[in-house]
Amino acid sequence: MSLTLFRQELRAHGLLWLIFAGVMALYGGMIVSMFDPKLGESLAAMAESMPQIFAAFNMTDPGTNLVEFLSNYLYGFLFVVLPMVALLILAVGLVAGRVDKGSMAYLLASPHTRIGIAYTQACVLLVFTLAFCIWAFGLCTVVSEGLFPGQLDLERFALLNTGLLGLHVFFGGLAFLCSCVFNETRIAAGVSAGLCVLFVLIQMLSQVGDTLDWLRFVTPLTLFDTDGLLAGDAGAIGRFCVLYGWGASMYFLGAFAFSKRDLPL
C-alpha cells in the first residue's frame, strides 16, 4: 500500500465527497425537521391516494417514532441512492479512469506492486464509504437532538446505519471490481452503474404490489432490511453481514484481477 498515493487520492476526490455530503445534509435536515406525529397522519393519507408511487420509494409508512420515520423517508431511498452514485464515480475514477487516461503507467513505474496499488485504491474507496455512513449517522443524530431531544433511539439508529454501511460496501465492491476488470472508463461506468441502478429499480418494483413481490429475491437491496434491523431481528443482522461478505469478496477479486491482466499502457 502506498501512503503517498492514499493521501493524494483523498485530497483529489475530497470535493466530490463534500458535494454529495452537502446534498445529503440538505435532504437529511429537511426530512428530520418534518417529523411530527400529526404530519405522519397527513403523509399516510397521501400514501393511500398514491399507493404505488409511495410504495416504490418505500414511503408508505411514516412510522410511529423518529427512528422509524427516518428509516422510511431517508434510509429507504435517498441515503441509499446518493452515496451509491458518489461511490460509482469514485470507483471508476480510481482505477479504470487512470488506465484510460494513461496516468496508471506512472503509478506502475513506482516501486509499488500492482496489488499494492489496487489495495491502496480500494482503501481510498472504503474510507469514503465509511465517511458517508458516519456523516449520515452524525447528521441525523445532531439535527434530531437539536429539534427533538431524546426522541431518537440511538441504539436502533446505529444498527440501521451499520446495515447501510454494509449495503454501500457491496455497491463499492461491485463498482471497484468493474473498474479493475475493464480498461475504458465508459465501459466500467456503464456496467457498474447499470447493475446498481437495475438493483434499485427491481427493489422499487418489488414493493409496488404483491404480483411483483418475488422480485425482492433477485436484488441484494433486500438484504438491507430496515424494518428487521429496527426490530432487532437476528435474521436482518445476518443478512446485512452477507452484504459485507460479498462486498469484501469483490474488493479482493478486483485487486487480484487488476494484478493479473494486461493493461493498454
171-192 pLDDT per residue, tens: 999 999 999 988 888 888 899 9
Alpha-carbon distances, residue 139 vs 209, 226, 244 (angstroms): 33, 19, 23
pLDDT at 85: 95
Share of the chain above pLDDT 70, in %: 86
Across the chain, mean pLDDT equals 84
Concatenate the DSSP letters of all residues of 87-150 into one string: HHHHHHHHTHHHHHHTTHHHHHTSSS-HHHHHHHHHHHHHHHHHHHHHHHHHHHHHHHHHHSTT
* Residue 57 confidence (pLDDT) above 80: no
pTM exceeds cut of 0.95: no
Q: Of 243 and 215, which is predicted with more confidence? A: 243
Q: Exposed (0-12), middle (13-18) or buried (19+): which is 259, by Cβ within 10 Å?
A: middle
For residue range 128-171, list pLDDT tens digits in order: 999 999 999 999 999 999 988 988 889 999 999 999 999 999 99
**Per-residue confidence band for 42, with pLDDT thresholds at 50, 70 and 90:** low
pLDDT at 44: 54
pLDDT at 201: 87
Which range among 34-43, 65-74, 148-157, 215-224 shows the weakest confidence by mean pLDDT? 34-43
Average pLDDT rounded to a whole number, residues 77-81: 90
Q: Of 44 and 173, which is predicted with more confidence? A: 173
